[in-house]
Chain A
Amino acid sequence: MLEIKNLSFRVDGDAGRELEIIDNVSLRVDDGEFVVVTGPNGGGKSTLARLIMGIEQPTEGVILYNGQDITHLNVTERARLGVGYAFQQPPRFKGLTVRKLLSLAHGSALPEDVCCNYLTDVGLCSRDYLNRELDSSLSGGEVKRIEIATLMARNPGLAIFDEPEAGIDLWSFAMLVDTFQKMHDRGENSIMIISHQERIMMLADRIVVVDHGHIRTDGTREAVLPTLFGEFACECDFRGAAK
């Protein structure tokens, strides 16, 4: 279980003014729960995810994972406790193959067929990709899907996906939705997905709306989803999958 208590994150802005990116946020994700975090761009969603993974350190507040205070642990230590994070914009690695990266994520060498299954789950025609390097020869959408596959291979207790739909075509997106559904059905992991996609929100147990560094709404899917339609300035940004 993840518990965030009164978390704040400030950075130095222009003219010595402090900018509040995350302001006194409290949040809970129960074991096996599927939470979608949504809200307008620049509202602090990714920062919140990076604070949970330990990539950024909060200025105030506490993060507990399975009852343990992890606020001051580094990325490695949190990863070993079972926190996992798929980047919104994943890095590329010259010379590292897809198969090697999946094995590194998993923690030991993965057999070919297992690698293939992870890739198929994110809509990649698997065998073609296994020995490809994660360099600039792969498109943004391919790198993004491989990123999601690495978190599947890692299978962490808490899996955080940062806008998994970004840059992904419609066909792969449908596959991805199924994969998240299956992951949720297994009930082994707590899942936190930052997303603007209605189809992903439809899978959620809970929806949290983050805006201007605050949690504006936190409730069940049934309660929150209907209130979101039409709320944002551009509904297309919220509903459309055709990116």
Chain B
Amino acid sequence: MISKVDFELLEQIAGLHEIPAGAYNIRKNSEGAGRQSTENIVITTKEDHPGIDIHIKPGTKNESVHIPVIITEAGITETVYNDFYVGEDADVLIVAGCGIHNAGDEKSEHDGIHRFFIGKNAHVKYVEKHYGEGDGRGERVMNPTTILELEENAVCELEMVQIKGVDSTVRSTTANLARGAKIIVTERLMTHGNQMARSDMEVNLNGEGSSAQIVSRSVGRDQSEQIFNPRAVGNEACAAHVQCDSIIMDKARIRSIPEIAANHAQAQIVHEAAIGRINNDQLVKLMSFGMDEQEAEEVIIQGFLR
């Protein structure tokens, strides 16, 4: 049964107001709450671990897969393995995400381990949103691991967003790119209260002409803490651009520890990082539109994390 609370969570993490069209798998409190395969996208349960395999046939175009996870009970700790096999020349949207509503005092934790095997010339857009709510004292924890293997000329766009209610997160992302493959990662993160977030990312550009663009934007509020550790390694003639940009507020702490490495004379790897508070001129500009300081701050943060 999908309840009202469930749909509220589903809307936050996957923009779903109802059961989605196309392929989907909804996981609720460690159990399957609905699944649909299509002719081109087949979802099966793993036999050795909790989790699913998603097989997308070569040449599948303009189809989507939604695989949201929701947890509404306190005291659940789970590790889930999901593997995506994307056939050559496919062009698909994959929407994942996890929402925890914890009204209890015990911790709820979801650790998702996602592996992507993206075939030649395939194009994947992957959207992952994390969201927590509930007035209990139980912690909401999410530790996503994402491993991507991109074959020749495959393109993957990742949009990873965590802007509310997750107490602790350690995010690990690894991508290996073959010749001509391209990855675009957009990470948006906001922490507040006593939250802690860590993001480790490693992109290995192993093929000639491969490229990576990583944009990470974050806002740290209250006493929260963030650590970023992006790593780009160029092993062939390739191009990578890593950009980490953070707004720091209140008593938050943010560390950025980038690493760029080139093992080939034709590798071009660039990193930019900045941490700073909201620019006063930006606040004054918006206040001159009649907003008060708090409203102006919210507009700046919302835009920044868009």
Contacts and interface: CB of A to CB of B under 8 A. Distances in A.
A94 B278 CA distance: 11
A92 to B, nearest CB: 8
Contacts of A104: 286, 289, 291, 299
B288 interface: yes
A48 B304 CA distance: 32
Contacts of B303: 93-96, 100
B291 A90 contact: no
Interface string A190-218: 00000000000000000000000000000
Given A96-B303, A107-B290, A87 B285 contact: yes
A91 B306 contact: no
Interface in A78-133: 79-80, 83-85, 87, 89-91, 93-96, 100, 104-105, 107
B287 interface: yes
Contacts of A144: none
B291 A76 contact: yes
A79 B285 contact: no
A74 B281 contact: no
Given A96-B299, A100-B303, A76 B287 contact: yes
Given A100-B303, A104-B299, A93 B289 contact: no
Given A79-B288, A79-B290, A91 B304 contact: no
A94 B246 CA distance: 11
Interface residues on B, range: 20 to 34
B282 A80 contact: no
Q: Name the prevailing secondary structure of the B interface residues.
A: helix
Contacts of A85: 288
B78 interface: no
B287 A90 contact: no
A79 B287 contact: yes
Contact of B290 (A80, A94, A96, A100): A80
Chain A CB within 10 Å — which of B293, B303, B304, B306 has the most? B303
A94 B305 CA distance: 9
Contact of A76 (B217, B292, B300): B292
A113 B289 CA distance: 21
Nearest to A150: B289
Contacts of A105: 289
A145 interface: no
Interface string B176-187: 000000000000
A154 interface: yes
Interface in A12-56: 53, 55
A177 interface: no
Contact of A53 (B288, B291, B304, B305): B288
Contact of A93 (B282, B287, B290, B293): B282
Contacts of A168: none
B297 interface: no
B288 A93 contact: no
A96 B284 CA distance: 16
Contacts of A84: 288
A80 to B, nearest CB: 5
B304 A94 contact: yes
11 contacts: A75-B284, A79-B287, A87-B281, A90-B285, A91-B279, A91-B281, A91-B285, A93-B303, A94-B304, A95-B302, A95-B306
Please list the 3 inter-chain residue pairs (A to B) with the smallest Cβ-Cβ separation, ordered nearest first: A95-B303, A96-B303, A91-B281
Interface of B: 217, 245, 279, 281-282, 284-293, 299-300, 302-306
